Chain A
Amino acid sequence: MLDDFFIRALIAGIGISLVTGPLGCFVVWRRLSFFAGTLAHSALLGVTMALFFEINIAFSVFIISAVLAILLLQLQKKTKLPNDALLGLLAHASLAVGLVVIGFLTSIRFDVMALLFGDILAVNQNDLFVIWLGGGLILIILKLIWKPLFASTVNYELSEAEGMKPDKFNAIFTILTAALIAISIKIVGLLLITGMLIIPAATARNVSNNPKQMVIFSVIFGLISVLVGLFTSLKINSASGPSIITATLLLFIISLIKFKKVSDLKK
């Protein structure tokens, strides 16, 4: 029989991959992978804040990511630095500050590695509740804003001209991304959550020819990766995050082979 902790990890992982699929597609389409990575880096600061003030980790991470997103918007307006430089600045500055603050928290027993790379042992009932409730909410909102968000992803000016209010929905999407990172830190870890967003979506792109298909495939690939990754993690005692991401990589490589065959046939 499987241990309780492992079943909890499975339920958590499945919940997360249901959300990273569709959200990851938008991250890839909108070229936001570095942005998602920046939000994930700031999560360390969020976790230390949670420990310091003794509040819920997911909630604290979400608040810090949201603050960071607002900061980024302000910096974009006020400086002439290119976007990637600003993102790098915020990502590593927040990571550094987070690590410094951890140093002051020596009284609390604290596993930094688990935070960076995920730890299936750490998932408790409360986390499952946060993942499935938060994840469900993210999916419902994404479903509701799908049309205007997709229109603004295809072309901002077109969607603005035809009354789809792209600014509003872009902002909602940013919040959803921050929320997803907040709920998935424990399983995948903050260094690797961006991989969970991007790699299944990139794999799905190789085998789909329309947006809905790509979303469905990226959910499927995410699910397979979580299952393969977690069982591997259990068997060979590897960290859960890296195991899951390695599984996504394998799927990506397989999709490349298949993709090549398909494009050969077209010629």
Chain B
Amino acid sequence: MENKNKKILLKVENASFYLNNKALIKEVSLEIKQGEIVTLIGPNGSGKSTTAKIALGVYKKIEGRVRRFTERIGYVPQKISVDWTLPIRVIDFMSLTEDLKNDQINVALNLTGVEHLKNKSLSNLSGGEFQRVLIARAIAKKPELLVLDEPVQGVDFKGEIALYELIKKISEKLNCGILLISHDLHVVMSATDFVICLNGHVCCSGKPHTVVKDEKYKELFGDRASNILSLYEHDHDHSHSADGSIDQKK
């Protein structure tokens, strides 16, 4: 996975962010290269979303330094609510930040299994459907850097696996860097090149199989979490053949 030739897309150096004199994150550093999936894990309130927003430049008043080397960014925020007063269909939402051709919209919606919702109103979608649309929108513009903040929340179990497969495929196909925030340790450990374990600061980081052995990781997630890697690898072999296709309708 280590490849010196790959372009660096994002570099966060010693970033700290304070809100009302309270540090939300302290001295967090991370780096994302082309074709690489970096995952942030950590308990609630550990600063995962904050780190993502700092990396994206949403929060600007920070200590430390953030550099982005691409402008082609796709973002799936953790929460998004669209007011009833704003009538907006899925198709309008798809080209929110970039003009897309109809084909591009169809392909992206098809990939996440929601092409049939194209002309539906955003406010009428279920939680899982909305997440699929959010992911479709972010990948439709063919970003160089993709930031996904708990992208599969509210998605059914089968869909969850398929979407993570899709995310991995996209990182290979588009050769884009991905910053992923996830609670699902199984998926994280299998689909990730680099894991950063956050708890206000960087607890430990490294490749998945080294992180699970780290004492700090065990402290944060408990002993059972360390067995996840072997558990997952078994699961993965099993479910991969059955779920090789990401087409939801089949």
Given contacts A158-B75, A160-B57, A163-B73, contact A28 B85 (CB under 8 A): yes
Q: B181 to chain A: closest CB distance in Å? A: 13
Q: Complex Cα distance A168/B164, Å?
A: 36
Assess the A151–B121 pair: CB atoms within 8 A.
Answer: no
Assess the B80–A205 pair: CB atoms within 8 A.
Answer: no
Q: Does B19 contact A (CB under 8 A)?
A: no
Q: Does B83 contact A (CB under 8 A)?
A: yes
Q: Does B74 contact A (CB under 8 A)?
A: yes
Q: Does B92 contact A (CB under 8 A)?
A: yes
- List CB contacts (< 8 Å) of B5-37 with chain A: none
Assess the A160–B74 pair: CB atoms within 8 A.
Answer: no
Residue of A nearest to B122 (CB): A154
Q: Does A209 contact B (CB under 8 A)?
A: yes
Q: Does B44 contact A (CB under 8 A)?
A: no
Task: Point out the residues of chain A lying under 8 angstroms from B92, CB to CB.
Answer: 210-211
Assess the A211–B88 pair: CB atoms within 8 A.
Answer: yes
- List CB contacts (< 8 Å) of B58-95 with chain A: 58, 71, 73-75, 77, 80, 82-83, 85-89, 92-93
Residue of A nearest to B49 (CB): A157
Q: Complex Cα distance A208/B92, Å?
A: 13
Assess the B71–A154 pair: CB atoms within 8 A.
Answer: no
Given contacts A29-B83, A160-B56, A209-B121, contact A154 B77 (CB under 8 A): no
Assess the B73–A213 pair: CB atoms within 8 A.
Answer: no
Q: Does A232 contact B (CB under 8 A)?
A: no
Q: Does B3 contact A (CB under 8 A)?
A: no
Which of B77, B82, B87 contacts A210, CB < 8 Å? B87
Assess the B56–A161 pair: CB atoms within 8 A.
Answer: yes
Q: Mark A133-163, 1 if CB is under 8 A from B, else 0.
A: 0000000000000010011011101111111
Q: Does B107 contact A (CB under 8 A)?
A: no
Which of A31, A150, A163 contacts B71, CB < 8 Å? A163
Assess the A157–B58 pair: CB atoms within 8 A.
Answer: yes
Assess the A160–B58 pair: CB atoms within 8 A.
Answer: yes
Assess the B86–A29 pair: CB atoms within 8 A.
Answer: yes
Q: Complex Cα distance A157/B134, Å?
A: 14
- The secondary-structure label for the interface of chain A is helix
Q: Does A86 contact B (CB under 8 A)?
A: no
Assess the B97–A211 pair: CB atoms within 8 A.
Answer: no
Q: Mark A160-200, 1 if CB is under 8 A from B, else 0.
A: 11111000000000000000000000000000000000000
Total interface residues on B, using CB and 8 Å?
Answer: 25
Task: Point out the residues of chain A lying under 8 angstroms from B58, CB to CB.
Answer: 157, 160-161
Residue of A nearest to B141 (CB): A162
Q: Does A36 contact B (CB under 8 A)?
A: no
Q: Complex Cα distance A33/B99, Å?
A: 30
Given contacts A150-B96, A163-B73, A209-B121, contact A158 B87 (CB under 8 A): no
Residue of B nearest to A202 (CB): B85
Q: A150 to chain B: closest CB distance in Å? A: 7
Q: Does A214 contact B (CB under 8 A)?
A: yes
Q: Does B202 contact A (CB under 8 A)?
A: no
- Which one of A153, A158, A211 has the greatest number of beta carbons of chain B within 10 Å? A158
Q: Complex Cα distance A29/B123, Å?
A: 14
Q: Mark A206-218, 1 if CB is under 8 A from B, else 0.
A: 0011110110000
Q: A170 to chain B: closest CB distance in Å? A: 14
Q: Does B180 contact A (CB under 8 A)?
A: no
Q: Does B236 contact A (CB under 8 A)?
A: no
Q: Complex Cα distance A90/B97, Å?
A: 35
Q: Complex Cα distance A147/B73, Å?
A: 17
Task: Point out the residues of chain A lying under 8 angstroms from B71, CB to CB.
Answer: 163
Q: Complex Cα distance A208/B74, Å?
A: 29
Task: Point out the residues of chain B lying under 8 angstroms from A154, CB to CB.
Answer: 82, 86, 88, 93, 96
Task: Point out the residues of chain A lying under 8 angstroms from B56, CB to CB.
Answer: 157, 160-161
Which of B75, B83, B86, B98 contacts A161, CB < 8 Å? B75
Task: Point out the residues of chain A lying under 8 angstroms from B161, CB to CB.
Answer: none
Q: A8 to chain B: closest CB distance in Å? A: 35
Given contacts A160-B57, A160-B58, A209-B121, contact A155 B87 (CB under 8 A): no
Task: Point out the residues of chain B lying under 8 angstroms from A159, CB to CB.
Answer: 96-97
Task: Point out the residues of chain A lying under 8 angstroms from B97, CB to CB.
Answer: 147, 151, 158-159, 162-164
Q: Across the A-B interface, give the 10 residue pairs with the lowest CB-CB distance, nearest first.
A: A161-B56, A161-B75, A162-B97, A29-B86, A160-B58, A157-B58, A151-B96, A209-B87, A151-B97, A155-B80
* Contact sample, A vs B, 9 pairs, CB 8 Å cutoff: A29-B83, A155-B77, A155-B82, A157-B53, A158-B75, A161-B53, A161-B56, A162-B75, A163-B73
